[in-house]
């Protein structure tokens, strides 16, 4: 499975209780269990948004993502997983199959969303917003792109990018305790 460690990003600063949700997070998407999940609930958190696939060379990164999530979740890190079949058909299963695979093989406990598109022309609303914000359109030449900021939590006008081979344990991956 490919963890298309698609996107690193940090959510916006805490806003007043009655303020509108920031545009980046102003989406409600279905989870792997078909629960409507408003992304606004993650406002003020450091987010690591990752597109995944269960039948590729990057699949073992689930282990590192879970370790990162468990280590830093109490400090405000949230890993958001987005299974996608956009790159070579490497996520052929349905949502139930994906959930079972993630739990049985990697003990994934971070939020996972329903299988959706992440590449240009097929992107779910979050990925479309991220592509517009970063100028990265999710085409095949950018299929393992990562986006993020080491400021935690903050709003990044143009997140930094890192390559697909960057391990979740790398200092290049934002986490609250090591953010600078």
Catalytic residues: 56
CA distances from 179 to 72, 120, 144 (A): 11, 30, 22
Pull the structure tokens for residue 12.
Answer: 């916006």
Q: Tell the burial category of 121 from Cβ atoms under 10 Å away from its Cβ (0-12, 13-18, 19+).
A: exposed
- Pick the closest to residue 44 from 153, 150, 126 (CA basis): 153
Pull the structure tokens for residue 33.
Answer: 């269990």
């Amino acid at each position: 499975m490919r963890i298309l460690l698609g996107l690193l990003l940090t959510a916006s600063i805490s806003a007043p209780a009655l303020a509108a949700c920031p545009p980046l997070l102003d989406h409600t998407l279905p989870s792997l269990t078909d629960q409507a999940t408003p992304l606004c609930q993650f406002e003020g958190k450091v987010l690591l948004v990752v597109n995944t696939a269960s039948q590729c060379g990057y699949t073992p990164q689930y282990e590192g993502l879970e370790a990162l999530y468990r280590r830093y979740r109490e400090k405000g890190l949230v890993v958001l997983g987005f299974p996608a079949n956009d790159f070579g058909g490497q996520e052929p299963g349905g949502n139930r199959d994906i959930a079972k695979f993630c739990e049985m093989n990697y003990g994934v406990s971070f939020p996972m969303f329903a299988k959706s598109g992440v590449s240009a022309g097929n992107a779910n609303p979050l990925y479309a917003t991220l592509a517009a914000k970063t100028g990265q359109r999710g085409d095949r030449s950018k299929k393992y792109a990562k986006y993020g900021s080491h400021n935690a939590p903050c709003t990044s006008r143009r997140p930094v990018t890192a390559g697909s081979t960057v391990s979740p344990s790398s200092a290049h991956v934002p986490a609250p305790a090591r953010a600078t």
